[in-house]
Amino acid sequence: MKRLILALMLLFAAPVVAQDQLPPAPLAYKQLDDPAQEAKAQRLMETLRCLKCQSQSIADSDAPMAGDMRHQVRTRIAAGEDPEAIRAWLIERYGDYVSYAPQNKPIMWPLFAAPLVFLLIAALLLRGRFRRVKVKEDTA
Amino acid sequence: MIAEIGLAVLWMAAALALLQLFAGFSALRPGGAVLAGIVRPLAVIQGLLVGISFVCLITLFLETDLSVKLVAANSHSMKPFIFKLAGTWGNHEGSMLLWITVMAMSGGVVALVEKRLREDTLLATLAGQAFVSLGFYAFLLLSSNPFERLPEPAPEGQGLNPLLQDVGLAFHPPTLYVGYVGLSVAFSFAIGALITRDVGPSFARAMRPWVLGAWIFLTVGITAGSYWAYYTLGWGGWWFWDPVENASLMPWLAATALLHSSSVLASRNALRAWTVMLGVIAFSMSMVGTFLVRSGILTSVHAFAVDPERGSFILALLAIYIGGALALFGIRASTVTEGERFSLFSREASLVFNNVMLCGILGIVLLGTLYPLMTEAFGAKVSVGPPYFNPVSAIFAIPMMLMMGVGPLLRWRKDRPSRITATVAIPALIVALVLLGVVVLFPSARLLPMLGIAVGIGLAIGSWLPLRGRNLRRTPLAVWGMVLAHCGIGVALFGAASESAFSVERLAAMNIGDTQSVGPIALKLEAMEPVAGPNWTAIEATISASYKGGPPVTLHPQARTFSSPPGERTESALHTRWNGQLYAVLGDEGDDGRWQMRFWWKPFVPLLWLGGLLVAFGGLLALLGRVAEDVKRVRLLDKIAFRKAQQDMLK
Amino acid sequence: MSEDTPKRSSLAIWLPLALFGAFFVLVIWGLYRPADREVVSAFVGKPLPQFNLPAATAERPGLSTAEMITGKPRLLNVFASWCVPCAAEAPQLEALRQRGVEIDGVAIRDRREDLDRFLGNYGNPFARIGKDDLSEVQVGIGSSGVPETFVIDGKGVIRYQHLGEIRPEDVALILRKLQEAQS
């Protein structure tokens, strides 16, 4: 989508922002040997926000910092750490902003309640209609 | 000269729009009938004038008239023809002129062909259309004149950024724009019907082709945009629930709901207030989407075309139109009766269900997109992404898709469940079997993709059931359209779910001659060579890929370096098979001389976009069917009128 | 099946307008709020994580958490030779050093020869410079870019985060934050 335009514009702007010359972190572009662990890491990385690019997950960014964060995630997963513990660790440092998965906190409750509220409103609006129809048919 | 002509006719068109607004409304008052006769001609001439103005701008761009500020800033004499052409609307001013051109010409077409609607409703509609256009005329003429001259002609244009010369980039935004503008016509119809309290089947029939047309453009725009992002961003993703993507999805959801509810209104004279409401909402979503993209209000998602001042202008228009329309709705809706009744078990009820679910998804997407802004007002920065949108939209989408298999089989008004149970049993059984099969064969797959696969297959098959027992040659085009569109949704869902359930990724550092594998595909890096294009140089990999030991195919992913302006971009390479797609990306060279490669095997992913195109094609069939029906009906009416006149003469 | 449907309650009819009003207020606020596009560290107020970075340059030792707990507030500057604003803030760091502030550096993803050239060109106000090639310390303290400067108190607790380069007018602020960290 237009996000691509963004990507292009960022590329266009790239020479202005200096980049480092170091090779990427060892596990930035290297998968874990254990497929189960790699899948776990991948799932987590897809839900962590790249702080440099603002609108991409670290799983699909070429920014060096995203690579470093992927390295961190893979290292910790390989060490047996739980994905949610890693998420919590990052949230402790960057706040909820870093996680695309909304956390269970009071400020997010309205968001979780929203689908229920929508269904409730729909039910309230429709209830009268169908019920009355039924009554009419019964009396008819 | 051309620029001056373009500007002059644009001013004239704006003046005519003002006149059209005034004449349209006064014709509705007692004693204003004198003015009624000029409203239609005004709309037609206004459309023609704006068309001329747009042709002028195109001419300026094709000639690369560097004395015009817009051309100098966005074009270049060396640009290929197609990008000179696309340059016309590839900027803020030009895109606004395109917007108003489509809007005014649509108004002209409505004025020319619309004969079914009550005359006063049509006048109100055209007045409403003029009212909406006036805001955009003001925007264009007062703050973003596309025909502005430079004091001194520029020696050369500045618009030769090779990174922005992309066919997708040239045609994707205007496709969405045309969709947005089509919804503005639906909006005007809704306003007209509210003003004259004439919310009935004829209003729905008049509005429906416009909704359908807009919806086709939106469908194509979203599908193409998604494929293009998939292909270009280089990470194999095709939907990110990014605010800009959501902004394009919301009008589509609203238009889909509107399409279905206007069908109910057109055939059954029910859901009146609801359809009018959706007509307003659909256009609101277009405006909200444009606003979100242009204002850059949602944290730095898109560095493109962001301008808070223009954002404020769009917001002001939004407030006037949408606030005004919703207020009008509030005043008038209580006088609009709901129309014909129907039973809980009927085609109407299933369409109501579908509408509620679509609006549920719309609500979720809108809320999720705005939620970070809302929490920021309370001092908390949060992100809302796929982990929220995917499951929560599925809460609404899965039941809706199940209903899509059942609803078209039901009769209008009232039906018996027993009549269709046998028919529905087949797809229901398929869904259950597929679900069981996936659970047994792929126990590690996640719940949502599994449901998606089962429901997708079930819908792709079940969507054909309405044709059962019909004479296929006599089946109206609109029914074929519905069947294909529903099937397309099932196909797309299957593609998407399969991609997310079964994609395999392989990241590898490779030397020339190294082999790797991803899923069922064996890969070999054959060569690395430098290649050069017109304005870039690149390193190109030659990779041979073989599916399950079959004959190898060659892929050429590139890492391109552009010279002016400097930039880098990876050019991914795709190999499409009937059962999936291989996606290859070339990364950097490591210290040890090995090349970073990324590969994905994505089973059945092309079905996602194929399904999208199928949906659009179904819409096109339905549109053709409806228009053909209308033409037939008009001819018939003409014939009757002609005979009547003849008989009168004989008498 | 007549058309005399009862009128719906007027409240529901005005709901869309009310929602739109709420949307309008929200985006108006959003358009005119002060631009806040930075990711602030949530780690301010917490003790430094444990780390032990090797030396980034021959002239200065590396950096570890233990060495930073000296009983006296100090600055932790996250920087890199490839970062343009980092060069711009060098005079301010030098001014702070001359006022007796101790500054430790964390060089992000840097090569020794680049770093030496950078320090040669713009001065070296750092007491120690740790080499952070994997952004470990950067992520560990919730920093999301370069340059960023943290005020660390005598017990090793992060007391303040300064985003972006330190401009001449910011020096007084940094000094005040260091003062506050003393108490």
- Tell me the chain B residues in contact with residue A129 when contact means C-beta distances shorter than 8 Å: 338, 341
| Cα B476 versus chain centre, distance | 25
Cβ within 8 Å, pair A5-B304: yes
- Number of domains making up chain B: 4
Give the closest residue to B259 by CA, choosing from B239, B292, B281, B244. B281
- Mean pLDDT along residues B508-529: 93
Residues B270 and B249 in one domain: yes
Question: Which residues 6+ apart lie within 8 Å of B113 measured at CB?
Answer: none
Sign of CA dihedral B601, B602, B603, B609: negative
- Work out the percent of chain B whose per-residue pLDDT is above 90: 55
Last residue of a domain, one of B296, B324, B341: B341
Residues B17 and B109 in one domain: yes
- Tell me the chain A residues in contact with residue C40 when contact means C-beta distances shorter than 8 Å: 95
Q: What is the nearest CA distance from A52 to chain C, expressed in angstroms?
A: 7
Q: Are C149 and C101 in contact (CB under 8 A)?
A: no
Whether the CB of B300 is below 8 Å from some CB of chain C: the reply is yes
Please determine, looking at this structure, whether the domain spanning C52-182 carries the CATH number 3.40.30.10: yes
∠ CA B44-B218-B602 to the nearest 5 degrees?
A: 160
Q: Are B510 and B611 in contact (CB under 8 A)?
A: no
Q: Which secondary-structure segment (H or E) carries C162?
A: strand C158-163
Q: What is the nearest CA distance from C99 to chain A, expressed in angstroms?
A: 31
DSSP A56-115: SBGGG---HHHHHHHHHHHHHHHTT--HHHHHHHHHHHH-GGGBSSPPSSGGGHHHHHHH
Q: Say which residue, B522 or B632, is predicted with more confidence.
A: B522
- pLDDT above 90 for B211: yes
Q: Are B349 and B370 in contact (CB under 8 A)?
A: no
- Tell me the chain B residues in contact with residue C7 when contact means C-beta distances shorter than 8 Å: 334
Q: What is the nearest CA distance from B300 to chain C, expressed in angstroms?
A: 7
Cβ within 8 Å, pair C39-A125: no
Residues B119 and B141 in one domain: yes
Residues B78 and B205 in one domain: no
Q: Are B555 and B547 in contact (CB under 8 A)?
A: no
DSSP A54: S
Question: Which residues 6+ apart lie within 8 Å of B55 measured at CB?
Answer: none
User: Strands C148-152, C74-79: parallel, antiparallel or unpaired by DSSP?
Assistant: antiparallel
Whether the CB of A42 is below 8 Å from some CB of chain B: the reply is yes
Distance (Å, whole) CA B30 – CA B22: 14
Residue B367 lies inside a defined structural domain of this protein: no
**What CA–CA distances, in Å, run from B83 to A128, B93, B167?**
57, 16, 8
Expressed as residue numbers, the domain containing B15 is 1-164
| pLDDT tens profile A119-129 | 998 888 877 66
Residue B350 lies inside a defined structural domain of this protein: no
Note the residue count of chain A.
140
Residues B57 and B81 in one domain: yes
Question: Which residues 6+ apart lie within 8 Å of B360 measured at CB?
Answer: A115, A118, A119, A122, B395, B396
User: Strands B536-547, B553-555: parallel, antiparallel or unpaired by DSSP?
Assistant: antiparallel
Residue spans of alpha helices (H) in chain C: 10-32, 65-68, 84-88, 90-98, 112-122, 136-140, 171-182
Q: Which secondary-structure segment (H or E) carries B33?
A: helix B33-63
Residue-level pLDDT at C3: 40
Residues B582 and B610 in one domain: no
Residues B542 and B574 in one domain: yes
**What CA–CA distances, in Å, run from B639 to B636, B643, B644, B645, B651?**
5, 6, 8, 10, 18
- pLDDT above 70 for A135: no
Residues B73 and B219 in one domain: no
- Mean pLDDT along residues C112-117: 91
Whether the CB of C23 is below 8 Å from some CB of chain B: the reply is yes
Burial label for B429, CB within 10 Å (0-12, 13-18, 19+), is: exposed
Distance (Å, whole) CA B546 – CA B552: 4
Distance (Å, whole) CA C30 – CA B491: 39
Q: Six-digit token pair at A85? A: 């513990």
Residues B208 and B105 in one domain: no
Distance (Å, whole) CA B553 – CA B398: 38
For tokens 């800009």, the residue is B244
Question: Which residues 6+ apart lie within 8 Å of B131 measured at CB?
Answer: B21, B191, B321
Distance (Å, whole) CA B453 – CA B494: 5
Whether the CB of A49 is below 8 Å from some CB of chain B: the reply is yes
ipTM: 0.87
Q: Are C10 and B335 in contact (CB under 8 A)?
A: no
Cβ within 8 Å, pair A23-B301: no
Q: Which secondary-structure segment (H or E) carries B541?
A: strand B536-547
Which of B163-177, B274-288, B298-312 is the most confident on average? B274-288
Domain map of chain C by residue range? 52-182
Residue-level pLDDT at C36: 61
- pLDDT above 70 for C143: yes
Distance (Å, whole) CA B341 – CA B353: 15
Q: Per CATH, which fold does A2-101 belong to? A: Helicase, Ruva Protein; domain 3 (1.10.8)
- Edge-to-edge, what's the strand order for the sheet holding B595-603? B504-510, B595-603, B580-589, B573-577
- Tell me the chain A residues in contact with residue C109 when contact means C-beta distances shorter than 8 Å: 20, 22, 64, 68
Cα dihedral B374, B376, B380, B382 in deg (nearest 10): 70
Residue B358 lies inside a defined structural domain of this protein: no
Within 13 A of B43's CA, how many CA atoms are on the CB side?
Answer: 33
Give me the numbers of helices (H) and strands (E) for chain C, helices first please.
7, 7
pLDDT bucket at B441, cuts 50 / 70 / 90: confident
Domain map of chain A by residue range? 2-101, 104-140
Residue-level pLDDT at B334: 77
Distance (Å, whole) CA B447 – CA B439: 9
- pLDDT above 90 for C54: yes
pLDDT bucket at C35, cuts 50 / 70 / 90: low
- pLDDT above 60 for B301: no
Residue-level pLDDT at A9: 44
Residue-level pLDDT at C51: 92
Q: Say which residue, C54 or B160, is predicted with more confidence.
A: C54
| Cα B479 versus chain centre, distance | 22
Q: Are B118 and B198 in contact (CB under 8 A)?
A: yes
Residues B599 and B619 in one domain: no
A140: how many CB neighbours lie within 10 A of its CB? Answer: 6
- Tell me the chain B residues in contact with residue A31 when contact means C-beta distances shorter than 8 Å: 505-507
- pLDDT above 70 for C159: yes
Residues B28 and B139 in one domain: yes
Give the closest residue to A115 by CA, choosing from B365, B280, B378. B365
Cβ within 8 Å, pair C37-B312: no
pLDDT bucket at C25, cuts 50 / 70 / 90: very high
| pLDDT tens profile B388-413 | 999 999 999 999 999 998 889 888 88
Last residue of a domain, one of B341, B375, B402: B341
Distance (Å, whole) CA B34 – CA B55: 34
Q: Are B285 and B223 in contact (CB under 8 A)?
A: no
Best of A17, A19, A20 to mutate (most C CBs within 10 Å, chain C)? A20
